[in-house]
Chain A
Amino acid sequence: MLGYILKRLISLAISLIVASVVIFVVVEIAPGDPASFMLGINAQPDTVAALRTELGLDQSKLDRYLSWVSGMLTGDFGTSYTYRTPVSQMIADRMWVSLPLALYALTLSTLIAFPAGIFAAARRGGAGDLAVTGATQLGVAIPNFWFAMMLVLIFAINLRWFSAGGFPGWDKGFWGGMKALTLPAIALALPQAAILTRVMRSSLLDILGEDFMRTARAKGLSSRQALWRHGLRNALIPVLTIIGLQFAFLLAGAIIIEQVFFLPGLGRLIFQAITQRDLIVVESVVMLLVFAVIVVNFLVDLAYAAVDPRLRTRT
């Protein structure tokens, strides 16, 4: 197990280094100099040069890459070109919206998908199964941002149960914050719940055909008892992998959903930064999202190997 962890750690480090190089290079080849952009077209050349020095833009590319990376390792993401505030501070503020939103959505999608998947698998081919499978077809076809607009139309504009957007801040109370995140989380969870339901259902159906399930039935368990005692536990492994992968999609999907609800999360930060050509913010937020995805996948792999020793020997 230790050797396996070490191997995975090395590959984790390589992934992170390559990802950071790719992001840095892509942003480097961006047309337009941030300093000239900030000062406008009428700026004097020496003012631009002074600002370039101040922002560190006159150093060599390698130096700037190294200082960007070593800064990030110590939690220093640089200084926003536009606001002159530390990027790490801006990210930390926005994180308190995006992260709870993604976790909220993940919880909802799991709470929907588990019962729905078990329900459908237990009634394979029946009316209940058809209804659930049909609903998942619809779930993956609905764009979540449009679903979000419809939720606003129904629950915010017509019924007035929720506000149409905005975020009061956690300091105004936990429940107020949760309430503001409820419609966005439902919208975000919809397609994920549909996918997870399908995985749950097909994984259970695979398990139901296994020999040990037949043994469980043969020793006298009813099909329902066999499903709950032996089927579920074994069906969970692929489901957990998908949940791990979904976390990444939820963080990214939150970027669009935040736009619908005017939530001050990472998504709005990144769009603001794009329009203001605040490239250091774009660079750092993208790196952070990619970092989150890579680390979550790494943890899922480890959890997998801890549960199933056979996987440790595979590459």
Chain B
Amino acid sequence: MSRNLILGGLLTSVFVIAALLSFVWTPDSVEAMNIANRLKAPSADNLLGTDHFGRDILSMLMVGARTSIAVALVAVGIGMGLGVPLGLAAAARRGGMLDEVIMRMNDLIFAFPSLVIAILITAVFGPSATNAIIAIGIFNIPVFARITRGAALSLWKREFIMAAQVAGKTRTRISVEHILPNVANLLIVQGTIQFSLGILAEAGLSYVGLGAQPPIPSWGRMLADAQTMVSLAPHVALIPGLTIVAMVLGLNLLGDGLRDALDPRLKVVRA
């Protein structure tokens, strides 16, 4: 196993475990306010200090990890769930009407910067974690459709696919039984990358107030609250920011590590 895979896997698991743990236990309550104890620097009582309401930052981060991971994970699910079948369908009839329509629609979604989609959706339906998921998820669809189509197109030229065609299998069955398992590795790697982009996007959206609404803790929201306190207590901005960096870095390393581990061809090139 490569260094990337181990380091990325470890970092990612820390956050996933912390998020899961927060369902049953956090060091402190995230709802109880204790104004007397506000903006305290990290200490034995509050390992990562307290925020402007005297809430324990470590507990907030643990519960916030839940929001970030949930939003990014579901957004990847939307992207894969819709993008992969579209990509497979487009590749199955290359140059056909369906291929053309799917690819044009993809180009169109690419033309909308993801943040602009998010803003439009939240402007219309109101800000919430659900709308953040939809906004990020929509942008994931063309990403998965495009890479699935690209990989599937090269597979369609291979002998084992021709053999399956000669054997009388329909294009749909070939796509599901032979193409999909062969693009799975690629999808896992891309999924990890989109997951990390989703974490960043969620943080950005909740920072500008378009993501999860209070009292649900989210990392971006914590940074927004910290902005006015940054000169009084830098740790309220520093700690959640470093948390986001660590999580995104972990996922990116994991993605790189998985790509090297799952794709032997790349190893040959790098050796």
Contacts and interface: CB of A to CB of B under 8 A. Distances in A.
Nearest to B115: A252
A150 B244 CA distance: 14
B253 interface: yes
A274 B122 contact: yes
A253 B201 CA distance: 11
Contact of B223 (A14, A145, A249, A252): A145
A297 B111 CA distance: 8
B12 to A, nearest CB: 12
A187 B252 CA distance: 21
Contacts of A259: 207-208
B250 to A, nearest CB: 9
The A contact surface, by secondary structure, is helix
B25 interface: no
Given A143-B241, A157-B230, A294 B111 contact: yes
Among B104, B107, B204, find the residue whose CB has the most chain A CB atoms closer than 10 A.
B204
A255 interface: yes
B119 A255 contact: yes
Contacts of A18: 108
A30 B124 contact: yes
B107 A26 contact: no
A43 to B, nearest CB: 22
Contact of B115 (A140, A253, A279): A253
B124 A146 contact: no
Contacts of B253: 137
B168 interface: no
Interface extent on B, as a size class?
35 or more
B119 A138 contact: no
Given A137-B252, A146-B244, A252-B113, A286 B204 contact: no
A131 interface: no
Contacts of B248: 140-143
Contacts of B121: 26
Given A146-B244, A256-B204, A15 B107 contact: yes
A185 interface: no
Given A141-B249, A256-B207, A282-B120, A146 B237 contact: yes
Interface residues of A, number: 46
Interface in A1-51: 11, 14-15, 18-19, 22-23, 26-27, 29-31
Contact of B234 (A14, A153, A251): A153
B200 A256 contact: no
B237 A153 contact: yes
B116 interface: yes
A289 B223 CA distance: 27
Contacts of A255: 115-116, 119, 208
23 contacts: A11-B104, A15-B108, A18-B108, A19-B111, A19-B112, A30-B123, A31-B125, A141-B196, A141-B245, A142-B245, A142-B248, A146-B240, A146-B244, A150-B237, A150-B238, A252-B115, A255-B116, A274-B119, A274-B122, A282-B120, A286-B119, A289-B116, A297-B111
Interface of B: 104, 107-108, 111-116, 119-125, 196, 200, 203-204, 207-208, 220, 223, 226-227, 230-231, 234, 237-238, 240-241, 244-245, 248-249, 252-253
The 5 closest A-B pairs by CB, nearest first: A252-B113, A146-B241, A141-B248, A141-B249, A30-B124
